[in-house]
């Protein structure tokens, strides 16, 4: 009979599986990048709304040349903001869930070994 505790046995089993360790620094950096991209997307969307509202479409009962051009620029800003926000949310969720699911799986395996 060995003097190993269940925790020691669990660590030995994980080491025997040769599971690649998580790169915590990379995961944290990617969560931060994802959060910053979401914020950038929101800022670009607000900027697009403000640009559209400030576009002078008609001046002295005559259509202006710069109004539609400003609106087209605002559309580009708005779409870019949406793209950045979606990419940021995807990065943030992927690396947040990765850390959580890794913890959940280790806990599940540990509980199963403890029961048997």
Q: What is the pLDDT of residues 29-80, one digit of tens each?
A: 999 999 999 999 999 999 998 888 877 766 666 666 677 888 888 899 999 9
Q: Average of pLDDT values for 79-107?
A: 89
By residue range, what is the domain housing residue 32? 6-115
Count of domains forming the chain: 1
Element (H, E) at 58: strand 58-59
CA distance 14 to 19: 7
At residue 7 the predicted structure's pLDDT band, cuts being 50, 70 and 90, is confident
* Residue 79 lies inside a defined structural domain of this protein: yes
* Residue 29 lies inside a defined structural domain of this protein: yes
* Residue 76 lies inside a defined structural domain of this protein: yes
CA distance 99 to 46: 32
Name residue 83's beta-bridge partners.
none
Sign of CA dihedral 91, 93, 96, 97: negative
3-state secondary structure of 59: strand
Contact status, residue 106 vs residue 7, Cβ threshold 8 Å: no
* Residue 1 lies inside a defined structural domain of this protein: no
């Amino acid at each position: 009979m060995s003097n190993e505790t269940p925790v020691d046995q669990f660590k030995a089993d994980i080491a025997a599986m040769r599971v690649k360790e998580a790169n915590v620094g990379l995961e944290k950096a990617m969560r931060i990048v994802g959060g910053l991209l979401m914020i950038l997307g929101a800022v670009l969307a607000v900027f697009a709304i403000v640009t559209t509202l400030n576009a002078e479409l008609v001046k002295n009962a005559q259509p202006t040349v710069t109004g539609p051009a400003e609106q087209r620029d605002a559309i580009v800003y708005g779409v870019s903001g949406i793209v950045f926000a979606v990419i940021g949310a995807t990065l943030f969720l992927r690396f947040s869930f990765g850390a959580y699911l890794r913890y959940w799986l280790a806990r599940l395996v540990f509980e199963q070994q403890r029961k048997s």
